[in-house]
């Protein structure tokens, strides 16, 4: 069982007043979070180009009728590297299994499997990731930069990117614009 003080397998939702343009209105799936730092994939921001079909073609990967998908901006770290967040029905030796029925694979093999129609049933390809050093994310949360909500497959893998932030924050049952960025003190 995971340490409840860490957010692996959860969603981070940027507070409405987040002023960092890389993360404003972002929803981040947390792939890893521990004393050494944190790593996640932004799930609600897509890049204009390339599409998944174009990317597979650029990489010389066969595409046997795979329907086109969007490539996501996963975060500002290693933006030239691809990461596939996916369902657990696909695994290889390099796959990181994350709590809640999610996995992360960052190899060409997962892209080849997707192109052949043999990949995971649900997937999201992202370029780059969001990363935090030891204690950095915890400090941002304490400064009211982020909210945490439970992750679910529908929110992560559906194509409705434009309203994912609003739907994620809505899981808390509050109006996002009623939230204050000021820390409360008793």
Per-residue pLDDT tens for 32-52?
Answer: 999 999 999 999 999 988 888
pLDDT score, position 182: 55
State the fold for domain 10-178: VC0467-like (3.40.1740)
Q: Scanning the structure block, which residue is given the tokens 């808390």?
A: 172
Three-state secondary structure call for residue 27: strand
64-115: per-residue pLDDT in tens? 756 657 899 999 999 989 999 999 999 999 999 998 899 999 999 999 998 8
C-alpha 179/C-alpha 144 separation (Å) is 10
For 120, half-sphere exposure in the C-beta direction (CA atoms, 13 angstrom radius) is 25
Q: How many residues does the chain have?
A: 186
Please give the Cα distance from 172 to 61 (Å, whole number): 41
Q: Sketch the domain layout of the chain as residue ranges.
A: 10-178
For 112, phi and psi rounded to 5 degrees?
Answer: -65, -45
User: Angle at CA 124, nearest 5°, toward 122 and 125?
Assistant: 135
> pLDDT at residue 1 above 80?
no
The DSSP 8-state label assigned to residue 68 in this structure reads: P
């Amino acid at each position: 069982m995971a340490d409840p003080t860490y957010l692996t397998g959860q969603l981070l939702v940027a507070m409405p007043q987040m002023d960092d343009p890389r993360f404003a209105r972002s929803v981040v799936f947390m792939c890893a979070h521990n004393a050494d730092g944190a790593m996640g994939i932004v799930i609600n921001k897509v890049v204009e180009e390339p599409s998944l079909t174009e990317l597979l073609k650029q990489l010389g990967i066969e595409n046997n009728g795979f329907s086109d998908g969007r490539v996501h901006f996963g975060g500002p770290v290693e933006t030239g590297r691809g990461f596939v967040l996916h369902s657990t029905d696909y695994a290889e030796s390099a796959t990181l299994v994350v709590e809640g029925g999610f996995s992360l694979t960052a190899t060409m093999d997962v892209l080849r499997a997707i192109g052949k129609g043999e990949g995971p049933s649900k997937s999201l390809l992202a370029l780059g990731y969001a990363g935090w050093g030891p204690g950095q994310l915890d400090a941002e949360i304490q400064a009211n930069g982020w909210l945490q909500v439970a992750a679910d497959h529908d929110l992560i893998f559906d194509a409705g990117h434009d309203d994912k932030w609003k739907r994620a924050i809505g899981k808390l049952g509050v109006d996002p614009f009623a939230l204050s960025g000021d820390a409360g003190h008793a």
